[in-house]
């Protein structure tokens, strides 16, 4: 069983690269891309399906940051079937520690994603779906 994937990143090149990698991986049955947190938040809260959703979330974005978005979806419980992977260029260990405090965050990866990372995420999601 595959899951839908949402990629949120304000860098158009990274967004394009990650889109291609996810499309070529076994990770996604449907893919949605957003270049800002506000549009992504609207999508997440207005979904009409309860299908599992994997969010690949950039931390540092103008406007609504990845942290802001994570706080909003955690507080408002938009959907219980949402898992988040923080995908960032930050090598700050405090960011990784902060991400670990969110129950929705299942992984913390440095940009750019790789084919191997997508395959690992696919395995992790499959495990979550069947546990």
Instruction: Write the pLDDT tens digit of every residue in 65-105.
Output: 999 999 998 887 665 688 999 999 988 899 999 999 998 99
Spatial contact of 99 and 26, defined as CB atoms under 8 Å apart: no
User: Are the CB atoms for 16 and 46 separated by under 8 Å?
Assistant: no
pLDDT given at position 77: 61
Dist CA 119 CA 111 (whole Å)? 15
Residue 45: the pLDDT is 85
Average pLDDT over residues 2-6: 85
Mean pLDDT of 14-28: 92
Residue 130 backbone dihedrals phi, psi, to 5 degrees: -105, 10
pLDDT for 37 equals 95
Reported pTM:
0.94
pLDDT of 94: 95
Q: Would you state the pLDDT for residue 27?
A: 84
Q: Return the sign of the alpha-carbon dihedral for residues 99, 102, 104, 106.
A: positive
Give the highest mean pLDDT range of 27-36, 58-67, 77-86: 58-67
């Amino acid at each position: 069983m595959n899951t839908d994937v949402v990629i949120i990143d304000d860098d158009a090149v990274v967004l394009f690269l990650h889109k291609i990698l996810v499309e070529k991986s076994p990770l996604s049955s449907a893919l949605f891309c957003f270049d800002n947190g506000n549009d992504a938040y609207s999508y997440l809260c207005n979904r009409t399906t309860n299908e599992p959703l994997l969010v690949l979330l950039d931390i540092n974005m103008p406007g609504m940051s990845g942290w802001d978005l994570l706080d909003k979806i955690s507080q408002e419980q938009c959907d219980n079937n949402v898992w988040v992977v923080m995908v960032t260029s930050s090598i700050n260990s405090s960011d990784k520690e902060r991400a670990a405090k969110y129950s929705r965050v299942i992984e913390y990866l440095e940009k750019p994603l790789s084919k191997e990372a997508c395959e690992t995420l696919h395995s992790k999601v499959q495990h979550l779906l069947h546990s």
